[in-house]
Amino acid sequence: MVRYIIRRLLQAIPLLFIISILIFVLLQSSGDPLASMGGKRITRPEDRARLAHIMGLDQPIYIQYIYWLVGNDWVQIDIDNDGIPDTYGQRKGVLRGDFGDSLVNRGKTALSLIEERLPNTLILMIPAEIIILFFSLLVGIFSALRQYSLTDQVITAGSFIGYSMPIFFVALASMYLFAVNFRKWGLPYLPTVGMFDPKVGKSLSQVVVHMILPIFSMSLVSISGYSRFVRSQMLEVISQDYIRTAYAKGLSERMVLIGHALKNAAIPFVTLVGIDIPFLLGGAVITETIFGWPGMGRLFIDHLNRFDTPVVMGILMLISLAVVFFQLLTDIVYGWLDPRIRYN
Name residues whose C-beta falls within 8 Å of residue 179's C-beta, 6 or more positions apart in sequence: 189, 190, 191, 192, 213
Give per-residue pLDDT as tens, 13-32.
Answer: 898 999 999 999 888 877 77
Q: Is the dihedral of CA 108, 110, 112, 113 positive or negative?
A: positive
How many Å apart are CA 288 and CA 193, to the nearest integer? 9
**Cβ atoms < 10 Å from Cβ of 205:** 9
pLDDT band for position 177 (cuts 50, 70, 90): very high
Q: What is the pLDDT of residue 75?
A: 47
Burial class (CB within 10 angstroms; exposed 0-12, middle 13-18, buried 19+) of 139: buried
Task: Tell me how far CA of residue 307 lies from CA of 30, 44, 173, in angstroms.
Answer: 8, 19, 32
Does the pLDDT value for residue 344 go beyond 80? no
pLDDT band for position 39 (cuts 50, 70, 90): low
Q: What is the pLDDT of residue 342?
A: 63
Give per-residue pLDDT as tens, 133-174.
Answer: 899 999 999 999 888 899 999 999 999 999 899 988 999 999
Q: Which of 178, 197, 200, 177 is nearest to 189 (CA)?
A: 178
pLDDT band for position 90 (cuts 50, 70, 90): low
How many Å apart are CA 173 and CA 292, to the nearest integer? 16
The angle formed by the CA atoms of residues 227, 230 and 235, to the nearest 5 degrees, is 125
Percent of the chain, pLDDT > 90?
28
Q: What is the pLDDT of residue 27?
A: 86
Q: Which domains does the chain have, with CATH numbers?
A: 34-102 (no CATH), 111-337 (1.10.3720.10)
Give per-residue pLDDT as tens, 249-295.
Answer: 888 878 888 777 887 777 777 888 888 887 777 668 888 989 999 99
The more confidently predicted of residues 68 and 52 is 68
Concatenate the DSSP letters of all residues of 74-109 into one string. Answer: ---B-TTSSSSPBP---B--GGGT---B-SSSTT-B
